[in-house]
Amino acid sequence: MRHNGATQDGAGIVIELEDVAYSYGGGELLTGMTLSLAPGSFHFLTGPSGAGKTTFLKLCYGALKPTSGHVRLFGEDLSAMGRDAVALARRRIGVVHQDCQFLDHLSVAENVALPLTAAGQSAAEQADNLRELMTWVGLTDRSGALPPELSGGERQRAALARAVIMSPDVLLADEPTGNVDWEMSQRLLRLLIELNKMGKTIMIATHDLTLIRAAKAQVQARVLRIAGRQLQTAGADL
């Protein structure tokens, strides 16, 4: 596939959180969050349900602004970035959301191509890239299907294809294997590892420790855990 546009900012950090806290409804959900994601690194984010993994990912791609501390996207402080600058930075970050929402009246291929359409590319300009990507995720035969016709695994693969179609430097995946069986989990993991080998920075939020162990046998991955509203490095016992 052609998605080899990994960031080449030297040794620059692609996403950085410095002493970040986030509060909602008068209560502090996360506190003291400090993390640097280097180009081409692979991270897992774990923790119990409700620990704040999704909130943390939203802070990482600028969907939420911290209550205190600093978030930097590709070297720029989020608090100093205008709306257009944030939008441009977020084009470099692909996100696989937990709920895999699609437009049900559009085909799978049209849903996957939506980021290109939004960026002004014509259907003709999209064709080669889209065909290649659908083959990569194994959905060529389902290109014309509507989202309600897809299985859980097909929806997850379509969501992954949509997240990487703009060739982002970073991919953040929120429980991408949460609703699929083990065989499909392994297939999705192989796709994510392949992206990492192409130079993409990967962070996967998951509660599935078996998946993390399987990945650590194939790729050098750092495991982070949210516990007690804080970010910790998980031990080697995983």
Give the mean pLDDT of the chain. Answer: 87
Does residue 9 register a pLDDT over 60?
no
Alpha-carbon distance of 97 to 159, in angstroms, equals: 8
Most confident of the following: 92-96, 114-118, 213-217: 92-96
Does residue 207 register a pLDDT over 60?
yes
Nearest to 3 by CA among 109, 118, 161: 161
Collect all residues with Cβ–Cβ distance below 8 Å to 235 and sequence separation of at least 6: none
Residue 73, φ and ψ in degrees, nearest 5: -110, 115
Domain extents in the chain: 15-101+168-233
Provide the CB-side half-sphere exposure for 198 (13 A, CA): 19
pTM value? 0.88
The pLDDT assigned to 221 comes to: 92
The pLDDT assigned to 235 comes to: 57
48: confidence class by pLDDT, cuts 50, 70, 90: confident
Q: Are strands 68-73 and 201-205 parallel, antiparallel or unpaired?
A: unpaired
Collect all residues with Cβ–Cβ distance below 8 Å to 116 and sequence separation of at least 6: 125, 126, 129, 130, 165, 166
- Its CATH architecture, for the domain 15-101+168-233, is 3-Layer(aba) Sandwich (3.40)
The pLDDT assigned to 1 comes to: 47
Spatial strand order in the sheet of 201-205? 93-96, 170-174, 201-205, 42-46, 222-227, 230-233
Does residue 181 register a pLDDT over 70?
yes
Reported residue count of the chain is: 238
205: confidence class by pLDDT, cuts 50, 70, 90: very high
